[in-house]
């Protein structure tokens, strides 16, 4: 009997030649929530499009919002309605291919990502948001930094970005110059 989650996956041309995904590569991915769901509150975004033997995200999710299935090489499927945006899957992913996006905050969105460098950024620190290719998007602000045993000791960092960047911003550069330009909207507090 075949695994119902098993779907043929075409390797992204951009991923294989440039090392990063393009937004169109994610259009058919089973781990990307709809725009409507992203506007309802924090939700995981799985940018895992390669069939590799991996399932820590499924094991980390206590809500049953992530399904890999019997075949461990199947790309994760998100059950968006069950996702609470807790970010345990973000910390668990060895490929750093999971993010939490929250577009319910008006003009700003929050993007949570894994962070495995030192020093850790600080809440309130201004940074420069980068896209998947490392290209500059513009100013952003760190709104939350978490590191705990329940997150497998992997830090997760949340940055506030203009809502239009929610599905583009995937990392940041800490600027040496603390006089970065302000965000285009008023600063939002941590939830």
d(CA 127, CA 84): 27
d(CA 102, CA 143): 13
Residue 137 lies in a domain: yes
pLDDT at 1: 36
Beta bridge partners of 113: 157
pLDDT at 177: 56
- Asked whether the beta carbons of 93 and 138 are under 8 A apart, the reply is no
Q: Does the pLDDT at position 4 exceed 50? A: no
Residue 144 lies in a domain: yes
Sequence-ordered list of residues with C-beta below 8 angstroms from that of 10, at least 6 positions apart, any chain: none
d(CA 103, CA 115): 21
pLDDT at 6: 43
Tokens representing residue 84 in the block: 């609470």
Residue 145 lies in a domain: yes
pLDDT at 174: 92
Residue 87 lies in a domain: yes
Please give the residue that has the higher pLDDT: either 152 or 133.
133
- The domain of 82 spans 13-174
* Distance set, CA 70 to CA 12, 59, 188 (Å): 24, 13, 42
d(CA 157, CA 29): 24
pTM, entire model: 0.82
135-177 pLDDT tens trace:
999 999 999 999 877 666 789 999 999 999 999 999 999 977 5
Q: Three-state DSSP class for 26?
A: helix
pLDDT at 11: 58
Count of domains observed in the chain: 1
Sequence-ordered list of residues with C-beta below 8 angstroms from that of 9, at least 6 positions apart, any chain: 49, 50, 51, 75
Residue 1 lies in a domain: no
Residue 39 lies in a domain: yes
- Average pLDDT of 89-97? 90
- Asked whether the beta carbons of 168 and 23 are under 8 A apart, the reply is yes
Residue 40 lies in a domain: yes
Residue 38 lies in a domain: yes
Q: Does the pLDDT at position 179 exceed 60? A: no
- Asked whether the beta carbons of 85 and 91 are under 8 A apart, the reply is no
31-90 pLDDT tens trace:
899 999 999 999 999 988 778 898 989 999 999 999 998 898 888 899 999 999 999 999
d(CA 72, CA 68): 6
């Amino acid at each position: 009997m075949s695994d119902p989650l098993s779907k043929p996956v075409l390797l992204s041309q951009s991923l294989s030649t440039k090392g990063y995904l393009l937004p169109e590569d994610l259009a058919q991915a089973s781990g990307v929530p709809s725009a409507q769901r992203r506007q309802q509150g924090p939700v995981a975004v799985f940018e895992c499009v390669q069939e590799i033997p991996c399932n820590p995200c499924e094991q980390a999710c206590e809500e049953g919002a992530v399904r890999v299935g019997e075949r461990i090489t199947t790309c994760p499927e998100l059950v968006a309605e069950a996702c609470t945006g807790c970010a345990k899957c973000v910390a668990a992913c060895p490929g750093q291919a999971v993010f939490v996006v929250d577009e319910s905050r008006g003009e700003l969105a929050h993007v949570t990502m894994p962070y495995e460098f030192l020093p850790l950024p600080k809440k309130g620190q201004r940074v420069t948001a980068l896209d998947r290719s490392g290209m500059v998007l513009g100013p952003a602000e760190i709104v939350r930094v978490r590191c705990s045993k329940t997150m497998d000791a992997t830090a997760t960092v949340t940055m506030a970005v203009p809502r239009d960047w929610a599905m583009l911003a995937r990392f940041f550069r800490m600027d040496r110059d603390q006089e970065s330009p302000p965000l285009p909207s008023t600063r939002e507090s941590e939830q």
